[in-house]
């Protein structure tokens, strides 16, 4: 009887661990999607100013700084843990090669951080042509990372 209780307890705890694990995976996927949306929103604000859709140029520098801060603060290991790829969740757009090509993914993220630094320097100069060039360069690093490590949008 003690053996049955032990096995039952073990199975039950394993079940609850799996539930907790699954929720954690979905939470981290949602978390990293929100980070990427935030970066995209800051880029859109800067682009709207550069395109003349709005004329609030004093917003360009703080939003450039926000992009740099956000990209710099991403902890790849915690934001993209092994258990959060397409083999573990249907809600992620991440491709499995994020984990199989960790070094390339890390380099791509570092390139984005460098381009974000350039964007801040350009924004500090208040030269819209330079800002546009830096924003385009940042966009290219984002795009190349998305092309290599994210499912194509339908």
Per-domain boundaries in the chain: 28-149
pLDDT above 50 (res 12): no
C-alpha–C-alpha distance, residues 116 and 122, integer Å: 10
Placement of tokens 């949602």 in the chain: 30
pLDDT above 50 (res 142): yes
Closest residue by Cα to residue 64 from 88, 78, 47: 47
Q: Give mean pLDDT, residues 137-152.
A: 95
CB 39 within 8 A of CB 70: yes
The full length of the chain comes to: 154
CB 148 within 8 A of CB 104: yes
CATH of domain 28-149: 1.20.120.10
DSSP assignment, residue 1? -
- pLDDT tens digits, 14-44: 444 444 444 589 999 999 999 999 999 999 9
pLDDT score of 9: 54
Q: What's the whole-model pTM score?
A: 0.82
- pLDDT tens digits, 66-125: 999 999 999 999 999 999 999 999 999 999 999 999 999 999 999 999 999 999 999 999
């Amino acid at each position: 009887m003690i053996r049955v209780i032990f096995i039952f307890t073990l199975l039950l705890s394993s079940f609850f661990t799996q539930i907790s694990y699954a929720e954690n995976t979905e939470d981290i996927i949602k978390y990293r999607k929100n980070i990427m949306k935030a970066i995209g929103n800051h880029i859109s604000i800067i682009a709207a100013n550069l395109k003349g859709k709005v004329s609030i140029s004093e917003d360009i520098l703080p939003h450039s700084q926000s992009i740099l801060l956000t990209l710099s603060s991403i902890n790849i290991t915690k934001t993209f843990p092994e258990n959060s790829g397409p083999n573990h969740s249907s809600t992620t757009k991440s491709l499995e090669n994020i984990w199989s090509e960790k070094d390339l993914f890390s380099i791509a993220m570092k390139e984005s951080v460098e381009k974000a630094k350039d964007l801040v320097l350009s924004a500090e100069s208040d030269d819209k042509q330079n800002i546009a060039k830096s924003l385009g360069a940042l966009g290219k690093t984002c795009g190349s990372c998305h092309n290599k490590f994210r499912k194509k949008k339908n």
